[in-house]
């Protein structure tokens, strides 16, 4: 065998740590260069592809999708902010009208508020449009006549002023209930001050309402409330009406004409059912 045949296919070199490090460095440099070349080639391809018809269409679709994703929520916010409440109120569940017709110095009104209305309102105050109206008699010559005398008329005005000055039912209904616990003392100033303090009401503002226009504003408020009760054919204190219809009456210490029940849970269920009927469109 000649000398050429005796030579190894791969020339043997001494393997040292330094030589291995050099080879590794060369390999890394070569890989980095290759990656850079691939990236450059890819960018050139994308640039060229984007100029084609298909590329332009794809870019437009992607841009439109991004704009739609961000613009839709903003459009909804702007719509709600710029339109009147009435424009979309019809799509929201309504507040069920709930009204109690009372006399401020009537024990039946006290029991009705304490045993039925107030406990129910704890659970459904945010589902109802609550209103207190007052029962009396109105004559052109004499004005409003209250069953329990002039002191009751003053008590009615005091409670109406609380509702006008503090429209939140949780405030003015609590104040009215506080007065009714000692209804025989209405309209005693000390009682009114104590109840106002208990429910976060400014007695000064309350007094300003009662005495405004030399007391005429309060008289007008009472007249309008009494006329409202008369218009609804309500004569008994306390009469509870839901959705403009009579629902239950407390009269002579008894519950009468309460087909749906007279417990707080009955009133709550009735309100929730009527709200559901409106929401589902079955009413």
Measured distance CA(156)–CA(190) in Å, rounded = 16
Q: In terms of pLDDT, which residue wins out, 66 or 126?
A: 126
Highest mean pLDDT: which of 7-21, 37-51, 259-273? 259-273
pLDDT digits (tens, 9 = 90+) for 173-197: 999 999 999 999 999 999 999 999 9
The predicted structure's pLDDT at residue 92:
59
Over residues 20-42, the pLDDT tens digits come to 667 777 767 777 776 777 677 66
Q: What local confidence, expressed as pLDDT, does residue 59 receive?
A: 64
Give me the phi and psi of 90, to 5 degrees please: -65, -20
- What are 131's two structure tokens? 């209103």
- Residue 13 to residues 16, 17, 18, 94: CA-CA distances in angstroms? 9, 12, 13, 91
DSSP label at residue 78: H
pTM beyond 0.85, yes or no: no
Contact between 251 and 236 (Cβ < 8 Å): yes
The yes-or-no verdict on residue 57 having pLDDT over 80 is no
Q: How far apart are CA 201 and CA 275, in angstroms?
A: 31
pLDDT at 74 over 80: no
Beta-strand relationship, 128-134 and 239-242: unpaired
Mean pLDDT over 266-282 rounds to 83
- What ranges make up the beta strands (E) of 14-147? 96-102, 128-134, 137-139, 143-145
Q: What six digits make up the tokens of 32?
A: 């980095």
Query: Can you state the angle between helices 150-165 and 169-181, rounded to 10 degrees?
Result: 160
∠137-138-143 over CA atoms, to 5°? Answer: 125
Residues facing residue 101 across a β-bridge: 133, 239
d(CA 98, CA 267): 10
**97 - beta bridge partners?**
129
Average pLDDT over residues 64-89: 55
């Amino acid at each position: 065998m000649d000398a050429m045949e005796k030579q190894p296919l791969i020339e043997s070199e001494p393997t040292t740590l330094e030589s291995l490090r050099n080879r590794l460095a060369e390999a890394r440099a070569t890989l980095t260069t290759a990656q850079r070349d691939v990236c450059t080639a890819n960018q050139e391809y994308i640039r060229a592809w984007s100029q084609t018809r298909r590329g332009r269409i794809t870019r437009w679709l992607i841009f439109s999708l991004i704009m739609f994703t961000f613009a839709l929520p903003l459009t909804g916010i702007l719509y709600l902010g710029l339109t009147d409440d009435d424009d979309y109120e019809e799509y929201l569940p309504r507040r069920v009208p709930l009204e109690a017709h009372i006399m401020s110095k009537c024990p039946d009104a006290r029991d009705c508020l304490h045993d039925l209305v107030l406990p129910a309102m704890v659970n459904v105050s945010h589902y109802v449009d609550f209103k207190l109206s007052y029962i009396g008699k109105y004559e052109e010559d004499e004005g409003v006549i209250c069953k329990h005398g002039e002191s009751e008329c003053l008590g009615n005005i005091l409670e109406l002023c609380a509702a006008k000055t503090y429209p939140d039912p949780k405030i003015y209904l609590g104040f009215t209930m506080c007065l009714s616990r000692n209804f025989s003392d209405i309209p005693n100033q000390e009682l009114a001050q104590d109840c106002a303090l208990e429910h976060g009401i400014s007695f000064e503002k309350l007094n300003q309402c009662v005495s405004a226009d030399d007391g005429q504003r309060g008289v007008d408020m009472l007249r309008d409330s009494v006329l409202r009760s008369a218009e609804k054919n309500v004569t008994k204190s306390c009469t509870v009406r839901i959705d403009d219809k009579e629902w239950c009456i407390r009269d002579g210490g008894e519950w009468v004409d309460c087909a749906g029940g007279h417990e707080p849970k009955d009133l709550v269920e009735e309100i929730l059912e009527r709200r559901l009927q409106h929401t589902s469109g079955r009413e």
